[in-house]
Amino acid sequence: MSKTIHTPALVNIDDHGKSSATFVIEPLHTGYGMTLGNSLRRVLLSSIAGAAVTSFKIEGATHEFTTVKGVKEDVVDIMLNLRGIRFRVFSDEPQKLRITKSGKGTVTAKDIALNADVEVANPNHVIATLDDDKAKFTVDLVVETGRGYRTIDESSQKKNSDMIALDAVFSPVLRVRYKVENTRVGQMTDLDRLSITIDTDETITPRDAFEEAAAILVNQYTALAGQTRVEAAAPLSTTTATSEATGDLSDEPAELMTSIEDLNLSARTTNALINNEIHTLKDLFSLSDAELRDLKGFGSKALDEVKDKMSELEL
């Protein structure tokens, strides 16, 4: 067995769609496929930041064990439907939203009156069904950000008698599977290859979820390591580990990998950039002024704001 523990490489990312991708990591020190796979899976399922409805109030309903006139579903069913709405929230503050609908028809997530800090990832998600032409359905929602799972007992909204608190599932990661296989480099035949598949609810990309989970683990282990440092051996090269497959950015200046969300732009400008798949300064610099103006939801005012921010940062 080797006396050194070589660092692995992310050799391939296979995108299955906007919400699913498989990451291949190799070569790993003997046994580290299971060690890293299990650690990443647990963090991905429990600790990635997300947003959820934490409380609500339906006009005409004083508690959850009742019905609403003109609405097919009872309040318990509506509660379950509200838990299925997936949000992107660009603020740390709780967001107060409202749904107002009249007449026969289906109430979906696209009927929520949003603000500049909130987006809905599944606008076609059904909330309730109105079966009376005279029905009026009004719901106030509180959406918060968090990690993992929060019970009703832990909710701050429980103290507010006007609102009905909900168990909140914040995690945007729906499923994580991993597989460990044998791989070799030269004469070393006892190395591991880890393949990990991540499915999300589309409020976060699988790659962002993967990187956030890895960063969380790094922070936890660094805090425990104290001043002790182990010298990392150079990564072992394999025929499958190419910079083209990984999108390796090691040769890029560090500033170019700054997240758009870290630039402190207005919520509207930040949302417009992210919605157009612009996540880093590198993505931003790859577009001309004319191309930026043509982006959906991005106009001259947003362009001026970006230019001012670049001047401020001396970029």
- Residue 134: is its pLDDT beyond 70? yes
Structure tokens at 83: 């838990």
Q: How far apart are CA 225 and CA 113, in angstroms?
A: 48
- Residue 161: is its pLDDT beyond 70? no
pLDDT of residue 207: 94
The per-residue pLDDT of the chain, averaged, comes to 84
- pLDDT tens digit string along 263-312? 778 888 888 888 888 888 777 777 777 777 777 777 778 888 888 877 77
Is CATH 1.10.150.20 the classification given to domain 254-312? yes
Q: How far apart are CA 301 and CA 66, in angstroms?
A: 49
Q: Is the pTM of this model over 0.75?
A: no
Sequence spans of domains, the chain? 9-48+173-246, 50-169, 254-312
Residue with tokens 């993992």: 148
In Å, how far are 15, 61, 127, 152 from 165, measured between CA atoms? 37, 14, 17, 6
Reported confidence tier of residue 239, pLDDT bands at 50, 70, 90: very low
Q: 9-48+173-246 belongs to which CATH class?
A: alpha beta
> Greater confidence, 142 or 309?
142
Mean pLDDT along residues 150-160: 69
- Residue 259: is its pLDDT beyond 90? no
Mean pLDDT along residues 54-58: 93
User: Residues near 304 by Cβ (< 8 Å), separated by ≥ 6?
Assistant: none
- Select 50-169's CATH number: 2.170.120.12, 2.20.130.10, 3.40.50.2300, 3.40.630.10: 2.170.120.12
pLDDT of residue 235: 64
Q: pLDDT > 90: what percent of the chain?
A: 48
Q: How far apart are CA 205 and CA 18, in angstroms?
A: 7
Strand partners, 89: 118
* DSSP count for the chain of H helices, then E strands: 8, 15
- Residue 38: is its pLDDT beyond 50? yes
